[in-house]
Chains A and B, each alone.
Chain A
Amino acid sequence: MMRTIRQGLLAGLLAGLLTALLFVVDYGPGNSLHWVARWLGLDSQGAGKLVGFLLILFLGGVFGILFSMVAGRWQPALGRWLLTGLVAGAIWWVLVVLLIGTGINHVGLSFGSVLFSIVPLLVYGLLLGSISFQWRWQNA
Chain B
Amino acid sequence: MRISSSVHRNAALTRSEQHERDPLRPITLSERSLLLLALVRIFVGWLWFQQLFWKLPPDFAGLHRYVVEEGKYTFLPGYSFVIQHVLLPNFRVLGAFTWSAELVVALCLLFGLFTRFGAILTTVLAVQLYVGLAYAPGEWYWTYGMLVLLGLALAAAPAGRRLGVDQWLALRLDGAGETSRVARTLRWFV
A residues with a Cβ closer than 8 A to B are 18, 22, 25-26, 78-79, 82, 111-112, 115-116, 119, 122-123, 126-127, 130-131, 134
Q: With contacts A116-B53, A130-B163 known, is A123 near B111, CB below 8 A?
A: yes
Contact, CB under 8 Å: A119 / B43: no
B73 at the interface (CB under 8 A from A): no
Contact, CB under 8 Å: B168 / A78: yes
In Å, the complex CA distance between A111 and B50 comes to 14
B90–chain A nearest beta-carbon distance, Å: 23
A12–chain B nearest beta-carbon distance, Å: 14
B109–chain A nearest beta-carbon distance, Å: 10
Contact, CB under 8 Å: A22 / B167: no
B residues with a Cβ closer than 8 A to A are 39, 42-43, 46, 49-50, 52-53, 56-57, 106-107, 110-112, 162-165, 167-168, 171-172
Say what secondary structure dominates the interface of chain B.
Answer: helix
A108–chain B nearest beta-carbon distance, Å: 14
Contact, CB under 8 Å: B46 / A130: no
List 12 additional A-B contacts (Cβ < 8 Å) besides A112-B56, A119-B107, A126-B165.
A22-B43, A78-B168, A79-B168, A82-B168, A111-B56, A111-B57, A119-B49, A123-B42, A126-B112, A130-B162, A130-B167, A131-B163
Pick the contact of A115: B42, B46, B52 (CB < 8 A).
B52
In Å, the complex CA distance between A112 and B57 comes to 9
Pick the contact of B43: A25, A82, A115, A127 (CB < 8 A).
A25
Q: With contacts A18-B42, A126-B165 known, is A26 near B110, CB below 8 A?
A: no
Contact, CB under 8 Å: B42 / A112: no
In Å, the complex CA distance between A116 and B49 comes to 9
